[in-house]
Amino acid sequence: MNETIRLLMARKSVRQFEQEPIPEEDVQQILEAAVQAPTAGNMSLFTAIRVTDPQKKAALAISCDNQPFIATAPLVLVFCADYRRWFELFASLNTGEELRRPAQGDFMLACADTLIAAHASVVAADALGYGSCYIGDIIENCDIQREILGLPAYVKPVCMAVYGRPTQQQKDRKKPARFAVSDLVHENTYRPQGAQEMREMLGARQGLEGDALERWLLAFCKRKWNCDFSREMSRSAAQMIDEWMQGK
Protein backbone atom coordinates (compact mmCIF):
# COMPACT_ATOMS: atom_id res chain seq x y z
CA MET A 1 0.00 0.00 0.00
CA ASN A 2 1.12 3.54 -0.66
CA GLU A 3 2.92 4.84 2.45
CA THR A 4 0.83 8.03 2.77
CA ILE A 5 -2.43 6.09 2.43
CA ARG A 6 -1.19 3.52 4.95
CA LEU A 7 -0.39 6.30 7.41
CA LEU A 8 -3.85 7.87 6.97
CA MET A 9 -5.58 4.50 7.41
CA ALA A 10 -3.59 3.54 10.48
CA ARG A 11 -3.88 6.87 12.28
CA LYS A 12 -5.56 6.62 15.68
CA SER A 13 -5.64 8.84 18.75
CA VAL A 14 -2.89 8.60 21.35
CA ARG A 15 -3.64 9.75 24.89
CA GLN A 16 -0.59 8.53 26.82
CA PHE A 17 2.86 9.69 25.87
CA GLU A 18 6.43 8.78 26.81
CA GLN A 19 7.66 11.63 28.98
CA GLU A 20 10.45 12.68 26.63
CA PRO A 21 10.46 16.04 24.88
CA ILE A 22 9.98 16.08 21.11
CA PRO A 23 13.25 17.28 19.53
CA GLU A 24 12.88 20.85 18.34
CA GLU A 25 13.64 19.99 14.70
CA ASP A 26 10.71 17.55 14.71
CA VAL A 27 8.43 20.17 16.32
CA GLN A 28 9.46 22.60 13.59
CA GLN A 29 8.55 20.06 10.89
CA ILE A 30 5.15 19.51 12.52
CA LEU A 31 4.57 23.28 12.61
CA GLU A 32 5.83 23.76 9.06
CA ALA A 33 3.37 21.10 7.84
CA ALA A 34 0.55 23.15 9.39
CA VAL A 35 1.79 26.34 7.76
CA GLN A 36 2.12 24.63 4.35
CA ALA A 37 -1.49 23.40 4.36
CA PRO A 38 -3.88 24.93 1.81
CA THR A 39 -5.86 27.93 3.06
CA ALA A 40 -8.69 29.96 1.56
CA GLY A 41 -7.21 32.61 -0.75
CA ASN A 42 -3.79 31.70 0.71
CA MET A 43 -4.74 33.96 3.63
CA SER A 44 -3.76 31.48 6.38
CA LEU A 45 -6.72 32.42 8.56
CA PHE A 46 -5.40 30.65 11.64
CA THR A 47 -2.89 30.99 14.43
CA ALA A 48 -1.48 27.99 16.26
CA ILE A 49 -0.54 28.72 19.86
CA ARG A 50 2.20 26.43 21.16
CA VAL A 51 1.57 26.04 24.88
CA THR A 52 4.84 25.37 26.72
CA ASP A 53 4.05 26.96 30.10
CA PRO A 54 3.26 24.03 32.48
CA GLN A 55 0.75 26.18 34.38
CA LYS A 56 -1.16 27.00 31.22
CA LYS A 57 -1.12 23.35 30.15
CA ALA A 58 -2.50 22.39 33.56
CA ALA A 59 -5.18 25.07 33.28
CA LEU A 60 -6.17 23.81 29.81
CA ALA A 61 -6.36 20.25 31.12
CA ILE A 62 -9.01 21.47 33.57
CA SER A 63 -10.83 23.89 31.26
CA CYS A 64 -11.06 21.20 28.55
CA ASP A 65 -13.35 18.92 30.53
CA ASN A 66 -10.70 17.70 32.97
CA GLN A 67 -8.44 15.65 30.73
CA PRO A 68 -5.17 15.32 32.70
CA PHE A 69 -3.09 13.95 29.79
CA ILE A 70 -3.17 17.45 28.27
CA ALA A 71 -1.04 18.74 31.15
CA THR A 72 1.75 16.21 30.56
CA ALA A 73 1.72 16.03 26.76
CA PRO A 74 5.13 16.96 25.28
CA LEU A 75 3.59 19.23 22.63
CA VAL A 76 0.31 21.14 22.93
CA LEU A 77 -1.03 23.26 20.07
CA VAL A 78 -4.22 25.30 20.17
CA PHE A 79 -5.43 26.15 16.66
CA CYS A 80 -7.41 29.39 16.50
CA ALA A 81 -9.49 30.80 13.67
CA ASP A 82 -7.89 34.21 13.14
CA TYR A 83 -9.18 37.08 11.02
CA ARG A 84 -7.63 39.70 13.24
CA ARG A 85 -4.41 40.44 11.37
CA TRP A 86 -6.11 40.65 7.96
CA PHE A 87 -8.94 42.85 9.27
CA GLU A 88 -6.47 45.23 10.90
CA LEU A 89 -4.56 45.39 7.62
CA PHE A 90 -7.72 46.04 5.58
CA ALA A 91 -8.75 48.70 8.10
CA SER A 92 -5.42 50.46 7.58
CA LEU A 93 -6.00 50.77 3.80
CA ASN A 94 -7.40 53.85 2.20
CA THR A 95 -10.20 52.02 0.38
CA GLY A 96 -12.47 55.05 0.07
CA GLU A 97 -15.47 52.92 1.07
CA GLU A 98 -16.91 51.61 4.26
CA LEU A 99 -15.12 48.43 5.33
CA ARG A 100 -17.34 45.49 6.23
CA ARG A 101 -16.51 43.65 9.43
CA PRO A 102 -15.70 39.92 9.72
CA ALA A 103 -18.99 37.99 9.71
CA GLN A 104 -20.29 34.41 9.73
CA GLY A 105 -18.87 33.39 6.34
CA ASP A 106 -15.43 34.65 7.34
CA PHE A 107 -15.66 32.67 10.58
CA MET A 108 -16.55 29.46 8.75
CA LEU A 109 -13.76 29.93 6.22
CA ALA A 110 -11.27 30.62 9.01
CA CYS A 111 -12.49 27.48 10.82
CA ALA A 112 -11.86 25.46 7.64
CA ASP A 113 -8.30 26.83 7.35
CA THR A 114 -7.70 26.12 11.01
CA LEU A 115 -8.86 22.51 10.93
CA ILE A 116 -7.00 21.69 7.72
CA ALA A 117 -3.79 23.11 9.18
CA ALA A 118 -4.29 21.19 12.41
CA HIS A 119 -4.74 17.95 10.55
CA ALA A 120 -1.64 18.54 8.43
CA SER A 121 0.31 18.86 11.68
CA VAL A 122 -1.23 15.67 13.06
CA VAL A 123 -0.39 13.67 9.93
CA ALA A 124 3.15 15.09 9.89
CA ALA A 125 3.54 14.05 13.53
CA ASP A 126 2.38 10.54 12.63
CA ALA A 127 4.89 10.39 9.79
CA LEU A 128 7.64 11.22 12.30
CA GLY A 129 6.47 8.50 14.70
CA TYR A 130 4.53 10.71 17.13
CA GLY A 131 0.98 10.11 18.24
CA SER A 132 -1.58 12.82 18.84
CA CYS A 133 -5.07 13.48 20.07
CA TYR A 134 -7.49 16.22 19.17
CA ILE A 135 -9.20 17.98 22.05
CA GLY A 136 -12.58 19.29 20.95
CA ASP A 137 -13.31 20.57 24.45
CA ILE A 138 -11.24 23.68 23.70
CA ILE A 139 -14.56 25.02 22.34
CA GLU A 140 -15.97 24.92 25.89
CA ASN A 141 -15.48 27.65 28.50
CA CYS A 142 -14.54 30.32 25.97
CA ASP A 143 -14.02 33.01 28.65
CA ILE A 144 -11.49 30.82 30.45
CA GLN A 145 -9.66 29.81 27.25
CA ARG A 146 -9.48 33.48 26.19
CA GLU A 147 -7.96 34.34 29.56
CA ILE A 148 -5.41 31.49 29.47
CA LEU A 149 -4.32 32.19 25.89
CA GLY A 150 -4.80 35.98 25.78
CA LEU A 151 -7.09 35.91 22.75
CA PRO A 152 -8.24 39.23 21.23
CA ALA A 153 -11.28 39.87 19.01
CA TYR A 154 -11.55 37.80 15.81
CA VAL A 155 -9.35 35.04 17.26
CA LYS A 156 -11.32 31.99 18.44
CA PRO A 157 -10.05 28.55 19.50
CA VAL A 158 -11.38 25.88 17.13
CA CYS A 159 -9.38 22.81 18.03
CA MET A 160 -6.46 21.70 20.09
CA ALA A 161 -4.11 18.78 19.54
CA VAL A 162 -1.58 17.19 21.89
CA TYR A 163 1.40 15.22 20.58
CA GLY A 164 4.12 12.91 21.84
CA ARG A 165 5.78 9.54 21.49
CA PRO A 166 3.08 6.87 22.14
CA THR A 167 3.52 4.45 25.04
CA GLN A 168 3.64 0.76 24.09
CA GLN A 169 0.11 0.30 25.45
CA GLN A 170 -1.13 3.05 23.12
CA LYS A 171 0.75 1.57 20.15
CA ASP A 172 -0.94 -1.77 20.83
CA ARG A 173 -4.43 -0.29 21.31
CA LYS A 174 -6.70 -1.32 18.48
CA LYS A 175 -7.97 1.51 16.30
CA PRO A 176 -11.75 1.87 16.75
CA ALA A 177 -13.69 0.69 13.69
CA ARG A 178 -15.16 3.23 11.25
CA PHE A 179 -18.33 3.27 9.16
CA ALA A 180 -18.16 1.83 5.64
CA VAL A 181 -17.34 4.23 2.79
CA SER A 182 -20.80 3.54 1.30
CA ASP A 183 -22.38 4.69 4.60
CA LEU A 184 -20.82 8.14 4.35
CA VAL A 185 -20.40 8.83 0.63
CA HIS A 186 -23.52 9.62 -1.38
CA GLU A 187 -23.61 10.12 -5.12
CA ASN A 188 -24.87 13.37 -6.61
CA THR A 189 -27.79 13.80 -4.23
CA TYR A 190 -28.02 13.54 -0.48
CA ARG A 191 -29.60 10.26 0.62
CA PRO A 192 -31.31 10.61 4.03
CA GLN A 193 -30.40 7.86 6.47
CA GLY A 194 -32.98 7.25 9.20
CA ALA A 195 -32.72 5.70 12.63
CA GLN A 196 -33.09 2.15 11.31
CA GLU A 197 -30.26 2.51 8.82
CA MET A 198 -28.10 4.12 11.52
CA ARG A 199 -28.80 1.13 13.80
CA GLU A 200 -27.64 -1.19 11.02
CA MET A 201 -24.55 0.91 10.29
CA LEU A 202 -23.60 1.07 13.96
CA GLY A 203 -24.43 -2.59 14.55
CA ALA A 204 -22.02 -3.53 11.77
CA ARG A 205 -19.37 -1.08 13.00
CA GLN A 206 -19.54 -2.12 16.64
CA GLY A 207 -20.24 -5.81 16.03
CA LEU A 208 -23.44 -5.63 18.12
CA GLU A 209 -27.09 -6.50 17.62
CA GLY A 210 -30.40 -6.72 19.47
CA ASP A 211 -30.44 -5.74 23.15
CA ALA A 212 -26.68 -5.34 23.30
CA LEU A 213 -26.80 -2.74 20.51
CA GLU A 214 -29.73 -0.90 22.17
CA ARG A 215 -27.81 -0.74 25.48
CA TRP A 216 -24.72 0.57 23.69
CA LEU A 217 -26.79 3.23 21.90
CA LEU A 218 -28.43 4.41 25.13
CA ALA A 219 -25.09 4.67 26.91
CA PHE A 220 -23.56 6.52 23.94
CA CYS A 221 -26.45 8.99 23.82
CA LYS A 222 -26.00 9.69 27.52
CA ARG A 223 -22.22 10.04 27.27
CA LYS A 224 -21.92 12.11 24.07
CA TRP A 225 -25.24 13.90 23.56
CA ASN A 226 -27.38 14.38 26.67
CA CYS A 227 -24.43 15.40 28.78
CA ASP A 228 -22.99 18.46 30.48
CA PHE A 229 -19.94 18.87 28.24
CA SER A 230 -21.95 19.04 25.02
CA ARG A 231 -24.37 21.57 26.54
CA GLU A 232 -21.43 23.71 27.65
CA MET A 233 -19.80 23.37 24.22
CA SER A 234 -22.89 24.72 22.49
CA ARG A 235 -23.26 27.57 24.98
CA SER A 236 -19.61 28.54 24.55
CA ALA A 237 -19.71 28.23 20.74
CA ALA A 238 -22.82 30.44 20.55
CA GLN A 239 -21.02 33.04 22.69
CA MET A 240 -17.94 32.92 20.47
CA ILE A 241 -20.02 33.41 17.32
CA ASP A 242 -21.89 36.34 18.96
CA GLU A 243 -18.57 37.89 19.98
CA TRP A 244 -17.17 37.43 16.46
CA MET A 245 -20.19 39.26 15.03
CA GLN A 246 -19.79 42.07 17.58
CA GLY A 247 -15.99 42.34 17.13
CA LYS A 248 -15.31 41.29 20.72
Ligand X SMILES: Cc1cc2nc3c(=O)[nH]c(=O)nc-3n(C[C@H](O)[C@H](O)[C@H](O)COP(=O)(O)O)c2cc1C
Which chain residues interact with ligand X by CB under 6 A?
A: 12-13, 15, 67, 133-137, 159, 175-176
Q: In whole angstroms, how close is the CB of 237 to ligand X at the nearest point?
A: 13
Q: In whole angstroms, how close is the CB of 43 to ligand X at the nearest point?
A: 23
Sign of CA dihedral 43, 38, 150, 156: positive
Q: In whole angstroms, how close is the CB of 71 to ligand X at the nearest point?
A: 13
- The residue (of 133 and 148) whose beta carbon lies closer to ligand X is 133
- The residue (of 91 and 221) whose beta carbon lies closer to ligand X is 221
Q: In whole angstroms, how close is the CB of 242 to ligand X at the nearest point?
A: 22
Residues 98, 116: Cα–Cα separation, whole Å: 32
- The residue (of 136 and 203) whose beta carbon lies closer to ligand X is 136
Q: In whole angstroms, how close is the CB of 246 to ligand X at the nearest point?
A: 26
- The residue (of 134 and 216) whose beta carbon lies closer to ligand X is 134
- The residue (of 106 and 137) whose beta carbon lies closer to ligand X is 137
Q: In whole angstroms, how close is the CB of 136 to ligand X at the nearest point?
A: 3
- The residue (of 22 and 60) whose beta carbon lies closer to ligand X is 60
DSSP the chain: --HHHHHHHH--B---B-SSPPPHHHHHHHHHHHHTS--GGG---EEEEE---HHHHHHHHHHTTS-THHHH-SEEEEEEEE-HHHHHHHHHS--SSPPPPP-HHHHHHHHHHHHHHHHHHHHHHHHTT-EEEEEGGGGS-HHHHHHHHT--TTEEEEEEEEEEPBPHHHHHSPPPP---HHHH---SS-----HHHHHHHHHHHHT--HHHHHHHHHHHHHHHTSSHHHHHHHHHHHHHHHHHHHT-
